[in-house]
Amino acid sequence: MMQHQPIASPESFTTERLCQRMLERHRDVIRVQKDHLAVRKLVKIVTAALDLSSRLGFHAMSLRDLSRESGVSMGGLYSYFDSKTTLLSMILTEVGVTATEVLGQAPADVRADPRRHLDWLIDTHIRLTEVMQPWFVFAFMEAKAFPQPARKMAVDSEEATEKIFAEALRLGAGRGLFQAGNPELTAALIKPLLQDWYVKRAKYRRRGIAIGDYVAAVSAFVSAALGDRPAVQP
Amino acid sequence: MMQHQPIASPESFTTERLCQRMLERHRDVIRVQKDHLAVRKLVKIVTAALDLSSRLGFHAMSLRDLSRESGVSMGGLYSYFDSKTTLLSMILTEVGVTATEVLGQAPADVRADPRRHLDWLIDTHIRLTEVMQPWFVFAFMEAKAFPQPARKMAVDSEEATEKIFAEALRLGAGRGLFQAGNPELTAALIKPLLQDWYVKRAKYRRRGIAIGDYVAAVSAFVSAALGDRPAVQP
DNA sequence: ATAATAAAATCGAACGCTCGCTCGATTTTG
DNA sequence: CAAAATCGAGCGAGCGTTCGATTTTATTAT
């Protein structure tokens, strides 16, 4: 608990840690008091919820399904949320907060160089969504079913990410590194390239494309589009 | 009925025509016999279904919602499908078939030039999904809820589209027009750029980005990434 | 034109079932 | 042995679906 925590890298976001953060954030709703018990069950519940939702969608998942799959009784579930919709919001919140937090944490020296910053953003985004794949798919697919406040948060989180990209592009264009006539539009086009990795994860797995290949491909694709000449031996 | 039909352009796929095709394809399930009556109601039902689904998802839409919104009674709905799942499949089938059909119809002279073919594919894909936006969003979002056969069709349709892109890329690379080391992966990266236009349609509308701007941006982005130098005055 | 009529299309109340959710009884924990 | 955590049967509401009654449609006879 008190141990020193390194700067959060994508890999550090295990389900366990995410559920810990979830517990802290929703202490008012979660009625179980002992942390170690609460986290242990939360992991079971959230894991089952993400799994069931990914198969048929959150709405199609009944709480009886969730109870069976997680091994927590119907009544027990309601010690962790006060409605099915609250569970939805809790998961989404965690995704939004984490994404914004991680992507805003580029080291100063990386941020100073727009070219490196862009590569760092691409790499970090893809690696984070790889580690939290079920979470991100959930947020992406169920976003429309959110209650108003959570929904706005999802949109804001998406826009925040795009802003970070647009800022790096603008800075790079200002220094004559990129041809980015319209940084906002270019950032908007980079986003779906990153999202495809988790939205269509099964496709890339089927084709045997590893995460490193994908990062490299997106990175090359983007920098070529920006007018960066690919690195060649002199 | 007997009138001469031009080569299908994206714009020709009105809801009315799509429902006509839907009727022909599902004559065995649809119990209404008079075509003009059937098409008129199908338009109402499908329009309402796409609208309601886009708001909360297909599963969350009850048939009472659909009945109210479409103006067709509960019993009446069941003259047009034999289960809620069948309605889902009917809409998906129409999307898959139409996409494959339209994108495979590039004129011979266009197909002969990989550069033009690529631009044609980008332009046609975006314009088709613009005209059929609710349909494509539906297929994209509800794909996981499909019964096995319809689901496979969705995946196949997606792969078919990508194959057409990969083929053009391979041809162009062979002629030394593009740097496309891995046509499959490049095609896989182009796809989400096209999908973003309909999946995040609201975002682009909010930002005042017109379809022509988007087509141009994707086209420029892709050809830059492929090593095509942007056209400049000599 | 109009009225009569059989077929087609439409309707909506009713059925059985499953849903989200609650709460008193029971088990586990420290 | 309290307090905390967990359980699962039971509640009312709303679901997808059905089906006999009713209205609309297209055709025929006047």
- Tell which of B142, B155, B196, B228 to mutate to test the A interface (max A CBs under 10 Å): B196
pLDDT at B233 over 60: no
What is the span of the domain harbouring residue B143? 92-225
String of DSSP letters for A103-140: HT---HHHHHSHHHHHHHHHHHHHHHHHHTHHHHHHHH
pLDDT at B4 over 70: no
The total number of structural domains in chain A stands at 2
**Chain B within 8 Å of A143 (Cβ-Cβ)?**
no
Question: Tokens 């002629």 correspond to what residue?
Answer: B175
Q: Are A38 and A22 in contact (CB under 8 A)?
A: no
Domain boundary among B37, B68, B90: B90
Percent of chain A with pLDDT over 90: 84
Cβ pair B192:A196 closer than 8 A: yes
Domain boundary among B67, B90, B113: B90
* Average pLDDT of the residues in B176-203: 94
Range name among A55-59, A72-76, A190-194 with the lowest pLDDT average: A55-59
Q: Are A36 and A29 in contact (CB under 8 A)?
A: no
Is residue A188 located within the same domain as residue A164? yes
Tokens of A114: 């727009």
* A71 domain residue, yes or no: yes
Residue B73, pLDDT score: 98
Is residue B180 located within the same domain as residue B111? yes
**Chain A within 8 Å of B205 (Cβ-Cβ)?**
no
Q: What is the CATH number of the domain that holds B161?
A: 1.10.357.10
Contact list in A for residue B196 (CB cut-off 8 A) is 188-189, 191-192
Is residue A210 located within the same domain as residue A101? yes
Model confidence at A7, pLDDT cuts 50, 70, 90, reads low
The set of strand D positions with any atom below 7 Å of a protein CB reads: 4-10, 14-20, 25-26
Candidates B87, B97, B89, B94; CA nearest to B146 is B89
Residue A119, pLDDT score: 97
Candidates A28, A35, A61; CA nearest to A46 is A61
* B231 domain residue, yes or no: no
User: How many angstroms away from the CA of B141 is the closest CA of chain A?
Assistant: 7
Domain boundary among A87, A113, A145: A87
Is residue B106 located within the same domain as residue B18? no
Is residue B108 located within the same domain as residue B199? yes
Chain A residues 101-140 with a CB less than 8 Å from chain B = none
* A230 domain residue, yes or no: no
The pLDDT mean for chain A works out to 92
Residue A199, pLDDT score: 97
Closest chain A residue by Cα to residue B199: A192
Cβ pair B225:A224 closer than 8 A: yes
Is residue B51 located within the same domain as residue B105? no
Structure confidence by residue, pLDDT tens digits, A14-61 = 999 999 999 999 999 999 999 999 999 999 999 999 999 999 999 999
Is residue A107 located within the same domain as residue A78? no
Is residue A82 located within the same domain as residue A110? no
* A136 domain residue, yes or no: yes
